[in-house]
Chains A and B, each alone.
Chain A
Amino acid sequence: MDQSTKTLPQPAVQLRSQRQRLWRTFIRNRTTIVGFVLVILIVLMSVFADDWFIALLQGRKAQPLLAPFDPAKQDTRNRLETPSKGHPMGLDTYGRDILSRIIYGGRVSLLVGICSVLLGGTIGTFLGIVAGYSGGKIENTIMRSVDVLMAFPSLIMGLMVLAVLGSGISKMIIAIGIMLSPSFARVVHSSTLAVKENEYVEAARSIGVGQFRMLRLHILPNVLGEVTVLASIWTANAIRIEANLSFIGLGVSPPTPAWGTMIRDGTQHLTNAPWISVFPGLAILITVFAFNLMGDGLRDILDPRLQV
């Protein structure tokens, strides 16, 4: 098969024009660009919160770079200070700078959001593709298990897994990853069912292409578009779920800053220091909104059928 495809003339012009079409759709969609720019800014802000890369080379403790202060540094004399020039988002109960904690806190949200989607996406795509391509008993077993997992509302499922694993960042990634995998499996399963009916798959099968090679070379690349769209939308949801779990108290342990935990700490002071909860909440809102904008745009570009 590979030999024969190598000798066929490649439709270079068509490919180029398709890429150009995608690029043109991307450029025209201003909201998508806003989403992309916001996501890049949030990622940069979190990565360069401190100078870890220089500190790593010099063998010293990282110092704040974009964040104005160390997120754990306490100024107990000025605790609950209102937002001011020195501390634009004020100080929390322990006198820690809220802006710095928000900048550092982005690391937890992004890490959990991206890693859990990677984990859930990988497991779900694998299960969906195997179920869709194999059919029969394997398909039935996998898809009925997916149905069972989907009977649990996502947050309940996350809570259930965390009850077994305990709290912490890696456990949260596993919990949200497991929670997301059925959604990926279901979408990839239905795409695989459609893709495997294509003539090129039939042609590959007829010349004896093995199952693994078929899944890797012919099925997977054709379902990746939908997986990418789903991944960007689910990253937004994963960040929201992480905030929910942190708010309940099942997130990272203190003093590591996490947005959900910061909001939770601030609820004790809603009447006299609302900024402790309001600013981290805004950070969650903007981040999830940016990923949703990006996801919506990607859906328009890569899979116009799913357009809402």
Chain B
Amino acid sequence: MLRHIVTRILFSIPTLLAVLTLVFLVVRVIPGDPAVAALGDYASKEAVEALRERMGLNDPLMVQYFRFLSDLLRGDLGKSMITGKPINEQVAYVLPYTLELTLVSILIGACLGIPLGVFTAVNRNNLIDYLGRLISLAGLSVPAFYFGILLILLFAVKLDVLPAVGGGDLKKPADNLNHLVLPALTLGLIMTTSVTRLTRSAMLDVLSADYVRTARAKGLKDRVVILKHALRSALVPIVSVIGLWAASLIGDSVMTEVVFSRPGLGKMLVGAIMQRDYTALQSVMVIYAAFVVVVNLLTDLTYGLIDPRISH
């Protein structure tokens, strides 16, 4: 088992390195001069050249690449080209907002999606099942930003009970929670639909297994068979896949942060693209990609722990 974990970690290092290299190269091929972007179109040639020198943009590409890697190893993300502030500070400010949004959304998705999935699987091919499947497919079809707008219209404009924009103050839990409700509902309900579909499918597989039939034949109550025998086995793939979805949830979290004007990595990324802030863009992409690589690694390791056959 230990060997499997070590091998898997070692295998993820080249992937991470390749991802970092790709991010470095992509940012370098973005059209436009970062120094001009920082100083504005009317800056003098001398000022632009001086800034290029200071930013190390005149150095050979390999030198820039190794500097980029060594800065990352020291945990230094550089300075924003627009605000001039260290990106570490910006990330430290927005990261808690993105993390709380992602975690609460996953919690909503799991708490609602798993029972709904079990319910639709037990009522297979009933009206309830068809309705559940249609609703979950509709949930998969709705863009997060549009769903967010609909929630804003209902709860902020019509009922006026929740704030429409902002992230609230992290030091004031009530204010923070108030601002978290709508974005978390947006992402959480969308995730619920995916979890419902997955749980239904996993439960259908398990419900037709021999040991479930045996449990039924022994005369056990339906509730006991479903919750104790079937759901327990079905939960294994569900819990592992929910981890994987944390990575895919990032795309929707970007849009949710944009719609709710909420501080976060996603909003920072879009802002960096719009303002051509190359250092900020590079840093956010590195964080996102590293996050996905780590989540994939953890999911792989979880599979190994749950099902020992995989580690062999």
- Is B15's CB under 8 angstroms from A151's CB? yes
A249 CB, nearest partner CB in chain B, Å: 7
B24 within 8 A of A: no
B73 CB, nearest partner CB in chain A, Å: 19
Selected from B137, B138, B247, the residue in CB contact (under 8 A) with A153 is: B247
A260 contacts across to B, CB distance below 8 A: 143
A292 within 8 A of B: yes
B247 contacts across to A, CB distance below 8 A: 153
B134 contacts across to A, CB distance below 8 A: 31
A64 vs B33: C-alpha distance when bound (angstroms) = 44
Stretch binding the partner chain, chosen from A83-91, A200-208, A239-247: A239-247
Known A166-B31, A240-B143, A285-B142; contact A151-B149, beta-carbon cutoff 8 A: no
A12 within 8 A of B: no
Selected from A274, A277, A292, the residue in CB contact (under 8 A) with B141 is: A292
Identify the closest chain B residue to A248 (Cβ). Answer: B270
A281 CB, nearest partner CB in chain B, Å: 4
B104 CB, nearest partner CB in chain A, Å: 19
List CB contacts (< 8 Å) of B249-285 with chain A.
Answer: 250-252, 254-255, 258-259, 269-270, 273-274, 281, 285
A285 vs B31: C-alpha distance when bound (angstroms) = 34
- Is B138's CB under 8 angstroms from A285's CB? yes
B137 CB, nearest partner CB in chain A, Å: 5
B293 contacts across to A, CB distance below 8 A: 151
Interface centre among B16, B201, B251, B252 (most CB of A within 10 A): B251
B145 contacts across to A, CB distance below 8 A: 243-244, 247, 263
A78 CB, nearest partner CB in chain B, Å: 23
A265 CB, nearest partner CB in chain B, Å: 12
List CB contacts (< 8 Å) of B128-160 with chain A.
Answer: 134, 137-138, 140-146, 149-150, 152-153, 157
Identify the closest chain B residue to A289 (Cβ). Answer: B141
A147 within 8 A of B: yes
- Is A244's CB under 8 angstroms from B248's CB? no
A156 within 8 A of B: yes
A307 contacts across to B, CB distance below 8 A: 201
B253 CB, nearest partner CB in chain A, Å: 9
Known A156-B269, A156-B288; contact A308-B153, beta-carbon cutoff 8 A: no
Selected from A145, A153, A271, the residue in CB contact (under 8 A) with B250 is: A153
- Is B255's CB under 8 angstroms from A244's CB? yes
List CB contacts (< 8 Å) of B152-183 with chain A.
Answer: 152-153, 157
Q: Is the interface of B mostly helix, strand, loop or mixed?
A: helix
A148 within 8 A of B: yes
A164 contacts across to B, CB distance below 8 A: 26, 29-31
List CB contacts (< 8 Å) of A262-308 with chain B.
Answer: 263, 267, 270-271, 274, 277-278, 281, 284-285, 288-289, 292-293, 296, 307-308
A53 within 8 A of B: no
- Is B157's CB under 8 angstroms from A274's CB? yes
Interface centre among A160, A260, A278, A284 (most CB of B within 10 A): A160
A170 contacts across to B, CB distance below 8 A: none
B162 CB, nearest partner CB in chain A, Å: 14
- Is B19's CB under 8 angstroms from A151's CB? yes
- Is A151's CB under 8 angstroms from B289's CB? yes
- Is B288's CB under 8 angstroms from A247's CB? no
Identify the closest chain B residue to A156 (Cβ). Answer: B288
A144 within 8 A of B: yes
Identify the closest chain B residue to A161 (Cβ). Answer: B26
- Is A163's CB under 8 angstroms from B248's CB? no
- Is A284's CB under 8 angstroms from B143's CB? yes
A94 within 8 A of B: no
Identify the closest chain B residue to A162 (Cβ). Answer: B273
A135 CB, nearest partner CB in chain B, Å: 19
A159 vs B141: C-alpha distance when bound (angstroms) = 20
- Is A159's CB under 8 angstroms from B143's CB? no
Q: Other CB < 8 Å A-B pairs besides A159-B270, A164-B29, 5 of them?
A: A153-B292, A156-B251, A164-B30, A243-B143, A288-B143
Can you list 18 pairs linking A and B with CB atoms under 8 Å apart? A149-B22, A151-B15, A151-B289, A153-B292, A162-B273, A164-B29, A240-B143, A243-B146, A244-B143, A263-B149, A267-B149, A274-B153, A274-B157, A278-B153, A284-B143, A289-B138, A292-B140, A307-B201
**What are the nearest 3 A-B pairs in CB distance?**
A155-B251, A288-B141, A281-B146
* Contact surface of A with B, Cβ cutoff 8 Å: 31, 144-145, 147-149, 151-156, 159-160, 162-164, 166, 236, 240, 243-244, 247-250, 260, 263, 267, 270-271, 274, 277-278, 281, 284-285, 288-289, 292-293, 296, 307-308
